[in-house]
A and B are shown apart, each in its own frame.
Chain A
Amino acid sequence: DIQMTQSPSSLSASVGDRVTITCRASQGISNYLAWYQQKPGKVPKLLIYAASTLHSGVPSRFSGSGSGTDFTLTISSLQPEDVASYYCQKYNSAPITFGQGTRLEIK
């Protein structure tokens, strides 16, 4: 099975900061990479699919990039409402796997 490894596992940044989370696949997955945001006590929400396509309604400060094995989620200017855990996911074929998650906090 393809493993997804995220880094860092936790992150603290200030409002307005540029934040980057990385995700590495153990084998190439083309661009079949999604990012999800899960706020405390809430349901995960799709942010980005196909590595860089913003899901409907997602603020433009979120962006994704990468292909093959290395991917990045970037928040261009961190907002208080972005406090959440973020998960990458490879979804091109079964088994579907998630990264272990990155917890993002505000300094």
Chain B
Amino acid sequence: QVQLQESGPGLVKPSETLSLTCTVSGGSISSYYWNWIRQPAGKGLEWIGRVYFSGSTNYNSSLKSRVTMSVDTSKNQFSLKLSSVTAADTAVYYCARGAVAHAMDVWGQGTTVTVSS
């Protein structure tokens, strides 16, 4: 079955860029939306944005100026870059597969990113 795995630095300095990658295994990256969601400790889920396998993107309007997402179909990976991070960006970051047909049915295990000097 399809599995997702996030990877990237667990610690990022303030004002720098957070970079995460999600690797898709057990299936193709084609024909789905690939989402990033985050969750600060003790708080709810926040959708960051999504990238389609074709490369088209949609972002949360509150983060749009700082977010870039991309997809690498040759590696079955998609990525998130969040620039100019602050402590407010400290959270568990999840990647998830999505489709209009069935919402977000497969999630990665999540990776904790701490913004601190």
- A residues sitting closer than 8 Å to B (CB atoms) are 1, 32, 34, 36, 38, 43-46, 49-50, 53, 55, 85, 87, 89, 91-92, 94-101
Contact = CB atoms under 8 A, between A and B. Distances in A.
Nearest to A43: B107
B58 interface: yes
Nearest to B102: A49
A43 B108 contact: yes
Contact of B109 (A38, A43, A92): A43
Contacts, number: 62
Q: Which of A34, A87, A92 gathers the greatest number of chain B CB atoms within 10 Å?
A: A34
A87 B45 contact: yes
Contacts of B107: 43-45
Contact of B47 (A38, A45, A97): A97
B110 A87 contact: no
A27 to B, nearest CB: 16
Interface of B: 35, 37, 44-47, 49-50, 58-61, 94, 98, 100, 102-105, 107-110
A91 B44 contact: no
B100 to A, nearest CB: 6
A95 B60 contact: yes
30 contacts: A36-B45, A38-B45, A43-B94, A43-B107, A43-B109, A44-B107, A45-B107, A46-B102, A46-B103, A49-B105, A53-B102, A55-B105, A87-B45, A89-B103, A91-B98, A91-B100, A91-B104, A94-B49, A94-B50, A94-B58, A94-B59, A95-B47, A95-B60, A95-B61, A96-B35, A96-B47, A98-B47, A99-B44, A100-B44, A101-B45
A100 B44 CA distance: 6
Contacts of B45: 36, 38, 44, 87, 89, 98, 101
Nearest to B35: A96
